[in-house]
Amino acid sequence: MNAPAQAPAPPPPPVASPPAHQRGEESWSRGDKLGVGLAWAAGIGLCLIAAAIVIFMLVRGFQYLSLSLLTTHPLPSLEQSQSGGFLDPIEGTVILTILGTLIAAPIGVGIAVWLSEYGRPSWLARAVESGVEIVAGTPSIVLAIFGLLVFQQSFFGFLSFTAEGNAVFGRSFFTAGAIMGLIALPLIVGSTREALHSIPAHVREASYALGKDRISTIRRVLLPASRRGIGTGITLGMGRIVGDTAIVVVLLGASLQIQPENGTPVWGLLKGTGSTLTTYVYNNSPAGEGGAPEKAYAAAFVLLIVVIFLNFAVDLIARGKEPGWTR
């Protein structure tokens, strides 16, 4: 098998000339160049559209926004000069955002904690996960009319106005706020889970090794460490609440001004109806009954500023100092 040394075989023929290389070929075909061109167009197009929206709203906003609009109550009047400002809608937006966040935050964090730290049995955990996804994907209009259905049951009469004849109105800050909480919920669950997920295992192990049980670990160690993620989720949720119109249209009642239900200080207010910036814009546009595009622009401008600010806040929170887990 291993042959002894022999006279070397004759040298191979001179190596063939290198294979004819298609030197004339190009590296970018016409289709490729078209593709890259389209990609550029898409990228620049998105930038242009965003710029157009921002600049347009800025121009219109400065044109029509005045301090008085922000501080006067709206009045039902067809005369533009007498229809007042949109203080009530602003208050409405604030109230709903606070209410929705107050409802969604504890529930959302609780669900996230259960999914992340407990999650037994696993079929239930998977079902809950997909359940949260389904809530996230359900259109807010559908959630809104579901909410109406629920809150019009006599059992929930205490949350809104009950007419004579026992018909529950079902529309109030409470009911709208509850459904607002529902749309913010998936965002809070998602961000909190991510924050919990990023805490390394040795932190939990250290806590258990010190004798702490799971719930104390969660309360004392994990949740404080997830503050940033929870904050991000809450801010994202607030952004979603501020921007939603469909829920307000269905569940807040169509009153321009805030109409408390009775004299009780906070409770009465929350049982009452009102409007928000979003419905104000909607109603003052040609789609609603108002023919007040100037007011609509002004309110839309304020709305946009608020939403941009909330987005900016998400960035700030997310960029905060990373907890120094030594690895």
Partner 1 sequence: MDPLSPPPPVRRILVEEAPTVALPPVNGNGHRPHAAPASPLRRMPRADTAAIERMRTEALSVAYGQKLAVNQVSLSVRQGEVLALIGPSGCGKTTLLRSLNRLVDLTPAATRGGRILLDGEDVDLFDVTLLRRRVGMLFQQPNPFPMSIFDNVAYGLRERGSKKPSKRELEPAVIEALHRAGLLEEVKDNLDHPALALSGGQQQRLCIARSLAVQPEVLLLDEPCSALDPISTQTIEETIVSLRTEIAIVIVTHNLQQAQRVADHVAFMYLGDLVEYGEAERVFNSPVAERTREYVSGGFG
Partner 2 sequence: MNVSGSHNAKPRDRTDQRAEIALGALASAVLLLIAFMIVFVFEKAWPSFAHNGLAWFGPGGNVDEQLANTFNSPANPNDYVYTMHAWPLLYATALITGISVMLATAVSLLSAMFIVEFAPAVMQRVLQPVIRLLAAVPSVVYGLIGILVLVPFVGNEVISGSQKDSVRYVIQLDGSSILVGVLVLTVMITPIMVAITVDALRSVPRHWTEGAAALGVNRWRALRTVGLRAARPAIVAAIVLATARALGEAIMLSMVSGSVGFAPNPLDGTTFFFEPARTLAATIVENAEGLSVKPFGETIYAFAALLLVSSAFLSFAGWAARQSMRKYTLQAR
Q: Which of these ranges, 4-12, 70-78, 262-270, 291-299, lies near partner 2 under the rule CB under 8 A?
A: 291-299
Using the contact rule CB under 8 A, the part of the chain among 8-16, 81-89, 154-162, 197-205 near partner 2 is 197-205
Pairwise CA distance, residues 273 & 278, whole Å: 15
Q: How many C-beta atoms surround the C-beta of residue 159 within 10 A? A: 22
When the beta carbons of 135 and 225 are compared against partner 2, the nearer one is: 135
Rounded to 10 deg, the angle between the 277-284 and 227-243 helix axes is 20
**Residue 181, Cβ density class (10 Å: 0-12 exposed, 13-18 middle, ≥19 buried):** buried
Give which of partner 1, partner 2, none residue 305 binds (C-beta under 5 to 8 Å, depending on kind). Answer: none
Scanning 2-10, 72-80, 205-213, 255-263 for contacts with partner 2 by CB under 8 A, the matching segment is 205-213
Nearer to partner 2, 221 or 267 (CB): 221
Q: What is the phi/psi pair of residue 273, to 5°?
A: -115, 175
Residue 110 interacts with partner 2 (CB under 8 A): yes or no: yes
Q: Give the angle 90-103-231 at the CA atoms, nearest 5°.
A: 80
Among 3, 67, 163, 209, binds partner 1 (CB under 8 A): 3
Binding mask 5-44 for partner 2 (x = CB under 8 A): ----------------------xx---x--xx-xxxxxx-
Radius of gyration, alpha carbons of the chain = 30
Q: Which of 191, 235, 257, 275 binds partner 2 (CB under 8 A)?
A: 191
Residue 317 CA to residue 197 CA, distance in Å, equals 18
Within 219-258, the residues that bind partner 2 by CB under 8 A are 232-233, 239, 242-246, 249-250, 254
Question: Residue 276: how many CB atoms within 10 A of its CB?
Answer: 32
| Residue 35, Ramachandran bin (φ over 0: left; ψ between -120 and 50: alpha; else beta) | alpha
Give the one entry of partner 2, partner 1, none that residue 124 binds, where binding means its C-beta sits below a cut-off of 5 to 8 angstroms depending on kind: partner 2
Burial 195-229 (b: 16+ CB within 10 A, else e): bbeebeeeebeebeeeebeeeebbeebbbebbebb
Structure tokens at 227: 């503050």
- Quote the least distance from Cβ 263 to partner 2, whole Å: 27
**Which residue, 133 or 268, has its beta carbon nearer to partner 2?**
133
Task: Pick between residue 20 and residue 209 the one whose CB is nearest to partner 1.
Answer: 20
Specify the residue, 268 or 315, whose C-beta has the smaller distance to partner 2: 315
Q: Which of residues 61-100 bind partner 2 (CB under 8 A)?
A: none
* The pair of three-digit structure tokens given for residue 313, joined into one six-digit string: 């806040």
DSSP class of residue 162? B
Q: How far is the CB of 43 from partner 1 (least distance, A)?
A: 20
Q: Are 275 and 256 in contact (CB under 8 A)?
A: yes
The residues, ordered by sequence, that sit 6+ positions from 322 with a Cβ below 8 Å of its Cβ are none
Q: Token pair of 74, please?
A: 């709206």
Contacts with partner 1, 8-47, as mask; x by CB under 8 A: xx-xx-xxx-xx-x-x-x-xxxxx----------------
Q: Which residues bind partner 1 (CB under 8 A)?
A: 1-3, 5, 8-9, 11-12, 14-16, 18-19, 21, 23, 25, 27-31
